[in-house]
Chains A and B, each alone.
Chain A
Amino acid sequence: MRVYLAKKLREANSNNAADNRRFLEQYGVLMVNIMGSPGCGKTSLLEETLRRLSSRYRLAVIEGDLYTAEDAERLKPWAAEIVQINTEGGCHLEANLIGQLLTSDSPALLQTEMLFVENIGNLICPAEFDLGEDLRVTLLSVTEGNDKPRKYPLAFKEAQATLITKTDLLAYVNFSLEQAMLDLKKLNAEGAIFPLSVKTGEGVENWCHWLEQKLAEKRK
């Protein structure tokens, strides 16, 4: 016999993401999904962001990593709550992994104001799995070259913000900031773009301010 299903294979993930979104809404927590290639500066960005915001907000982090807990260690000094997820080879986080943490007996992650999720270093797969986040943020480091938005458009297309990181290295690499900004605008007219360097601190203020604004909007 033939059985027609017309069933989307990522439907379960979308449903779990919707559940997560409801929890976050109820507790007024702003969830930020941080994506980008391996080594583009996700953990460094979180270190600097948490350092700047932790005196004024309760901040939590979910660290997605293939195998290690090193990145989580780096963030401990600033985070009110931190949880490590090791995907053991899995190339992206899925909504059910986040959901398990949000619905546990003591949802400490929800007693915060901002919840950052560092996704697995990868420009393709994470973009395909909604986690229930409020903000999707994609990093592009200047050492990767400015052709990346053209090569991996979907990672940048649906982001509320793109962060062009390591701008202190612009003088040493062949990266056209102008071209990257043009391409990003063309791909994603509404997304914000923040060039920044955590080494010099340049541009980090604008990014933090944007986050604070988004939190205020959510809690209004």
Chain B
Amino acid sequence: MHELSIVSSLIEIISKDAQGKGLREVTFVRLVIGALSAASPKAVEFALEYATKGTILEGAQVEIAVEEAKSRCTGCATLFEPQLPFLLCPACGKPASCFPQGRDVYIDYYEGE
């Protein structure tokens, strides 16, 4: 359940940024969860509902997008979408080790007033 720690940093980052910009309320957040980030969108949603209570994000609508993973093969430079469980390069069979996309959870943007 590290989703709770993900949600705490989301609240911390957005609160700080919104306060810095003089916003009183955050109304919308777009969050992107990588397919290989080991975070569950359902659990994030659930944690958000509770953790935002009493913060500048209370009541904000949160859109969660799941982003497919991409890997660049360190052997033959093929760009591919790695498949669980082995995440092998389809061209040369080497296990993926570099993920330009899909390994992270990040805030795309938020809206506030």
Contact-residue bracket for chain B: 20 to 34
From B39, B86, B107, contact of A187 by CB (8 A)? B86
Q: Are A10 and B9 in contact (CB under 8 A)?
A: yes
Enumerate chain B interface residues (CB-CB to A < 8 A): 1-2, 5-6, 9-10, 13-14, 17-18, 21, 23, 36-39, 84-88, 94-95, 97, 104-113
Expressed in whole angstroms, the minimum distance between the Cβ of A156 and any Cβ of chain B is 10
**Nearest residue, chain A, Cβ from B111:** A2
Q: Return chain B residues, CB-CB under 8 Å to A56.
A: none
Give the number of chain A interface residues (Cβ < 8 Å). 31
Q: Return chain A residues, CB-CB under 8 Å to B37.
A: 128
Q: Return chain B residues, CB-CB under 8 Å to A41.
A: none
Enumerate chain A interface residues (CB-CB to B < 8 A): 1-10, 12, 90-92, 94, 124-125, 127-129, 149-151, 153-154, 157, 183, 186-189
The 5 closest A-B pairs by CB, nearest first: A125-B2, A150-B85, A4-B109, A153-B85, A8-B106
Q: Return chain A residues, CB-CB under 8 Å to B13.
A: 5, 7, 9
Expressed in whole angstroms, the minimum distance between the Cβ of B113 and any Cβ of chain A is 7
Expressed in whole angstroms, the minimum distance between the Cβ of A202 and any Cβ of chain B is 28
Q: Are B95 and A187 in contact (CB under 8 A)?
A: yes
Q: Are A6 and B108 in contact (CB under 8 A)?
A: yes
Q: Are B9 and A125 in contact (CB under 8 A)?
A: no
Q: Are B2 and A6 in contact (CB under 8 A)?
A: no
